[in-house]
Structure 1
Amino acid sequence: MQTAVIFLLACLPFFVLGQQPPCGNRDCPSYTRTQLNVTGGYEVRRYDPSQWVVTSAPGRSFRRLFRYIGGFNDQGAKISMTVPVLRAQRASGSTMMFYLPNTIVPPTPTNPDVQLLDIPVKEFYVRVFNTNSKPQPTKYQQELQALKTAVDGQYNDTVSYTAGYHSPWHTGVRQNEVWLEKL
């Protein structure tokens, strides 16, 4: 029994690092894992082309995007919530993004602070970490710094991303991620 416990504890980094995002019954962008670096605590994901609805205006970013998928668009169409919710951080500020399923033709936003964004095939370094509550910004920064150190400058240093898969009201374990664009 003790040997089994030790084996499981030794394998835990493989299970956490290699786990799939918790999409559940929600749409999420498709990708292929091209590398798993257990020592560095990251994986490389190659994401297929995808479309996102974004807002970079400060303030109520989540509300603007939620209103868009709730029908505040040129078609009055409601769109199911997807995951992850991404936040891109640049020196000029942050952008919040909702993934749009590839099974729909996205309606045009009616709010000028909301835009559609096409992202081509792209590879990201991804560091997965779990928390029991919504992570504080300092936790994201700590995980991002660990990822930057592990990939040693082989990333686009003008942008970083945080990815969340759970609603603000979720209780229990949350899977969180930080992403860097691979050069």
Structure 2
Amino acid sequence: MTDSQNQQLTTRWATMDDLPAFKAVMQLAIDTLQADVLTPEQVVASHAVMGLDTQLIRDGTYLIAERDGEIAGCGGWSNRATLFGGDHSTDLRNPELLDPARDPAKIRAMYTAPAHVRQGVGRLILKTCEEAAAAAGFTSVEMMATLAGERLYAVAGYRAVERVEVMAGEVSLPLVRMRKAF
């Protein structure tokens, strides 16, 4: 990544008005970036368990990274028990508040627009979310990573603690629970 690319990236906390724009980014990221690690059936099925939980926006913990007015990526952190899943995956959601003294904050719904991968977007979002979670008193964070994101998170200091298969209808999706202490 060049210095000019890094300087052009800006971040801000999302509002509900941003939903249409970053839903398009999510759709494209899921369909494009997972194609190298999942079968076509798994990519399609992953939409059932991935997506945005709008509670993150209401909590003020969902971040957008922009470059030249275009959404380059998005992601958030949460002080709630939900580990992953969007508004449509209600069986995965748990709005219970976490205790920073004992629970890790959750890193959630990380997506990079395909045109912006490997340009520091994911790292910037991740770092900003980690800093916000630490400022809220958390001493660690965890996430449920896709295989496509696992490398980025490992480089950022996360370690795999559990490999799981989640069912989306009749299709099994591999995911990795990852954790990082501050």
Higher RCO, 1 vs 2 (CA within 8 Å, ≥6 residues apart): 1
Using the size of structure 1 for normalisation, the TM-score is 0.29
Rg (Cα) greater in structure: 1
Between Structure 1 and Structure 2, the one with more helix by share is 2
